[in-house]
Structure 1
Amino acid sequence: MFDLHRLRLLRELKHRGTLAAVAAALSYSPSSVSQQLSQLETEVGVPLLEPVGRRVRLTEQAEILVAHTEAVLERLERAEADITASLTDLTGTLRIASFQTAALALVPPALSLLRDLHPALRVHVTQMRPEAALPALLARDFDLVVAEEYPGNPNPRPAGVEQEDLLNDVLRLALPEPAEERGGPTASLRALADHPWAMEPEGTAARHWAMTLCRNAGFEPDVRFETTDLLIQLRLVERGHAVALLPDLVWNGQLPTVALTSLPRGQRTRRVFSAVRQGRSGHPAVAACRHALQHAAAQLTARTGN
């Protein structure tokens, strides 16, 4: 029988890409990881890794092993869920990753509800962009991820991830002061072609959506400020240094502090959802967290009317 610990190391290599990344994630030395994988090769009797430049990649046989390892780990997670469900109260640690505005508007009230209902449950929250958080979910770094999906820019949906919608978050054009709207939302965008813009960095889903929006309006935005922190973007707009595209979650049910205008149809909302690994949704702590997030989203929607 193959050693499960070594199989998990092979699976980690599949998800993390390098021996160094596996070692860093698991607090091992790279040489220890390499040695364990060499022993697994001996157990299996076929090569599992092949060199590609300075890196390695999994062989066809290694991919087969990883697929079976995923099934074993999923079954073990189901067993953990069954054990937890047999207890009178939730204990242990629940690891959550969330993007910034959901971490500000949805996660705190959800944590309050979890604390009231399950005081023995320890919740660990990390702010992280969905582009990094969703792969980390599959790598088992997190138990649940709160993620976003921008209009016209759907996220990849791996087979091993279960998604559940939380709310549709309205996106708007934010300006330092009201501007006269002529010709509709697209014309309003085009009128700001010569203004400085604040956007998220290259490589993010938000930046791709924003650039596409501006280009469809007929101009290339002058992006002078790049940050994933939307509160910084908001402050730049408030002080008259930039215009930006901000979601309503920034306001967390409070009155806006800048002028807002509507975006073109089909580009006005982003989807906010929770994601868990397949087979993990039945875990009582995960189910409780999803319930708390749904409650927080419903309360916010009721306050804002969106």
Structure 2
Amino acid sequence: MFELRRLRLLHELALRGTLASVAEALSYSPSTISQQLAQLEKDAGVPLMIPDGRRLRLTEHGVALAAHAARALELEEQIRGELESLQPGIAPVRVAVLQTAAQAILPNALTLLAGREPGLRVEIAEVPPEEGLFELSARGFDLVIAEQYPGHTRAHVRGLERETLGSDPIRLALPPADRARQLSDLEDRAWVMEPPGTAARQWALQQCRAAGFEPDVRFEIADLTAQVRLIAAGRAVGVLPDLVWADIDPPVRLLDLPGHPVREIFTAARASSASRTGIRAVRNALQDAFAERSDTRRGHRTT
């Protein structure tokens, strides 16, 4: 008989590729992970892993058992969800949020939850969408708030389901004294953008290239609040979503981009746990908080 906790270790190894990364994700020592996987291999009676340089590569048997492990974990999660529906609030909800959602949506959502589900524990971590979605598949989180930029669709991962929270306009952000009128006027400016590999960076680069120039990216900063300060100080220009303003008036000059683009803000959860009472309650609160903010902040004026 296979133990579910050992099957999870194999599932994690299939996702992450190294014992060290599995150990870090689950807060175990690499030696503990190795011992448990060795025992799983004995239970299976066939080789599951072979050394491949500094990594372990799954054998054909290992790949097959890892696929079964994923299904077993999904089934266990479904069972837990059914049990929780009989006694709501028995399990906390772990949520990964992107920075702008943490600032603009989360406080009101948590206030709504406190009134609706006072016994529900919600644990929050600010995590980039790319990392959050990966960790959602790996069961590091129960729910993720992520973004999708126009023309840059994120991969749909088996076993994850999405719900749209709403759309968030994206605009050019300029220093208050900068009198540029359109994107093509900014070819000679210093730019601030998110680090390479992010959807926001890729999208912003494409907008500049479509306008006929390669931007001079002098500042690579993930923290959008820091980006705002650089722009307000006159040191750079950038592309920012409206959620970054939360409840403050923009200290920068905003210009509409061609086509008035918006990014989609969505939540993602594992299909096997999406019906859990706690996850459903958090999603509903986020949806209502986003709608309330859209009503109060609709139509930022541009200059």
TM-score, normalised to structure 1, is 0.93
Q: Could you tell me which of 232, 242, 266 is aligned with 1:248? A: 242
Which residue does 2:30 correspond to in 1? 30
Which residue does 2:76 correspond to in 1? 76
The structural deviation recorded for 1:151 is 1.2
Distance 2:276 2:91 in 1: 12
Which residue does 2:91 correspond to in 1? 92
Distance 1:197 1:42 in 2: 56
Q: Could you tell me which of 200, 203, 206 is aligned with 1:209? A: 203
Which residue does 1:138 correspond to in 2? 137
**Per-residue CA distance 1:172-231 (angstroms, 9 max, x = gap):** 0011125253xxxxxx21211111111101111111111111111111111111111111
- Cα RMSD after superposing both structures: 1.4
Contact 1:253 1:300 in 2 (8 A): no
For 1:65, the aligned partner's letter is L
Which residue does 1:285 correspond to in 2? 278
Distance 2:48 2:117 in 1: 44
Which residue does 1:185 correspond to in 2? none
Q: Tell me whether 1:42 sits opposite 2:36 in the alignment.
A: no
Distance 1:94 1:72 in 2: 21
Distance 1:109 1:91 in 2: 23
Contact 1:227 1:233 in 2 (8 A): yes
Contact 2:89 2:121 in 1 (8 A): no
Distance 1:281 1:23 in 2: 27
Partner of 2:28, secondary structure, is coil
The structural deviation recorded for 1:256 is 2.2
Gaps of 5+ in 1: 182-187
Q: Tell me whether 1:191 sits opposite 2:185 in the alignment.
A: yes
Distance 2:164 2:280 in 1: 14
Contact 2:84 2:91 in 1 (8 A): no
TM-score, normalised to structure 2, is 0.94
Distance 1:278 1:10 in 2: 21
Distance 1:3 1:116 in 2: 40
The structural deviation recorded for 1:253 is 4.8
1:45-194 map, 5 Å: 45-87=45-87, 89-177=88-176, 179=179, 181=181, 188-194=182-188
Contact 1:253 1:303 in 2 (8 A): no
**Per-residue CA distance 1:111-143 (angstroms, 9 max, x = gap):** 111111112211110001011110000110100
Per the alignment, do residues 255 and 28 of structure 1 end up closer, same or farther by CA in structure 2, a change over 3 Å counting?
A: closer
Partner of 2:167, secondary structure, is strand
Which residue does 1:298 correspond to in 2? 291
The structural deviation recorded for 1:304 is 2.2
Distance 1:268 1:262 in 2: 8
Greater CA deviation, 243-252 or 22-31?
22-31
Greater CA deviation, 39-48 or 269-278?
39-48
For 2:103, the aligned partner's letter is L
For 1:77, the aligned partner's letter is E
4+ long deviations beyond 4 Å? none
Contact 1:236 1:242 in 2 (8 A): yes
Q: Tell me whether 1:275 sits opposite 2:272 in the alignment.
A: no
Distance 2:29 2:232 in 1: 48
Contact 1:214 1:221 in 2 (8 A): yes
For 1:269, the aligned partner's letter is V
Per the alignment, do residues 180 and 27 of structure 1 end up closer, same or farther by CA in structure 2, a change over 3 Å counting?
A: closer
Gaps of 5+ in 2: none
Distance 1:218 1:99 in 2: 30
The count of corresponding residues between Structure 1 and Structure 2 is 298
Identity %, equivalent residues = 49
